[in-house]
């Protein structure tokens, strides 16, 4: 696979990792607040602040694809995202909060400009909502008409579709999520939830 050859070269592997993080993060934010009504399909507690999701992500960016295992830890407004790329090429940890990325562990000191790039242009904080099958309540979103038991919405030029759900106690949580925009798409499978 062409991607595997690229990741063997340090110069290109960091660029691809940035693309993966960019995909996960989304694109831009808006100032309007048109919120989708998704409460009937996903009855989550209003203050779900501490949780963890473990799973897999399959990412395609302009005809290149990659696969990684991930762990998202959400504690109040802070998150920790660990991406372990399949094949053992590299593992990185992204730390941040509601305002964006604060630090990326697993990169070299000469690559610290990646943090500035992420902080200035990528709202990675959206995953704290999207992994739960929710849109960010502070940003525009638009519900997409699907079957009654499915949830899909547009937010920040991304389409988020919850394709399969799982039950954990009284909660209904996403199992399979498709996130896509014009250039990219990711299939996220959540294998384990913890609260």
* Share above pLDDT 90 across residues of the chain, in percent, rounded to a whole number: 31
At residue 110, does pLDDT exceed 60? no
Can you give the pLDDT at residue 193? 96
| Residue among 89, 100, 96 nearest 72 (CA) | 96
Sign of the dihedral defined by the CA atoms of residues 137, 182, 57, 124, in that order: negative
Can you give the pLDDT at residue 51? 96
What are the CA-CA distances from residue 85 to residues 12, 46, 76, 168 (Å)?
Answer: 14, 33, 27, 28
Query: Which domains does the chain show, CATH number per domain?
Result: 2-194 (2.50.20.10)
At residue 161, does pLDDT exceed 70? yes
Q: What is the pLDDT of residues 23-77, one digit of tens each?
A: 665 443 333 334 444 555 556 555 688 999 999 988 877 777 778 899 999 999 9
CB within 8 A of 49, min separation 6: which ones? 74, 75, 76
More confidently predicted of 20 and 124: 124
Can you give the pLDDT at residue 194? 94
For tokens 């999701």, the residue is 53
Can you give the pLDDT at residue 22? 57
Q: What is the pLDDT of residues 181-194, one digit of tens each?
A: 887 888 999 999 99
Mean pLDDT of the residues in the chain: 76
Q: Tell me the mean pLDDT in the region 71-96.
A: 88
Cα 79 from Cα 164, distance rounded (Å): 24
Q: Tell me the mean pLDDT in the region 152-177.
A: 91
Largest interatomic CA distance in the chain: 50
At residue 19, does pLDDT exceed 60? yes
Q: Is 24 helix (H, G, I), strand (E, B) or coil?
A: helix
At residue 173, does pLDDT exceed 50? yes
């Amino acid at each position: 696979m062409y991607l595997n050859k690229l990741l063997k070269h340090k110069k290109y592997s960091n660029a691809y990792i940035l693309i993966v993080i960019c995909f996960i993060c989304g694109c831009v934010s808006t100032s309007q607040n048109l919120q989708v009504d998704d409460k009937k399909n996903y009855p989550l507690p209003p203050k779900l602040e501490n949780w963890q999701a473990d799973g897999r992500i399959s990412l395609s960016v302009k005809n290149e694809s990659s696969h990684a295992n991930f762990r998202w830890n959400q504690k109040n407004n802070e998150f920790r995202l660990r991406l372990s790329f399949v094949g053992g090429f590299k593992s990185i940890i992204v730390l941040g909060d509601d305002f964006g990325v604060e630090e990326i562990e697993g990169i070299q000191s000469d690559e610290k400009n990646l943090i500035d790039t992420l902080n200035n242009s990528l709202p990675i904080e959206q995953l704290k909502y999207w992994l739960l099958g929710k849109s960010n309540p502070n940003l525009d979103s638009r519900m997409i008409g699907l079957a009654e038991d499915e949830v899909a919405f547009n937010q920040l030029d991304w389409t988020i579709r919850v394709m399969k759900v799982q039950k954990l106690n009284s909660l209904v949580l996403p199992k399979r999520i498709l996130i896509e925009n014009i250039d990219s798409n990711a299939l996220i499978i959540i294998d384990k939830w913890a609260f």
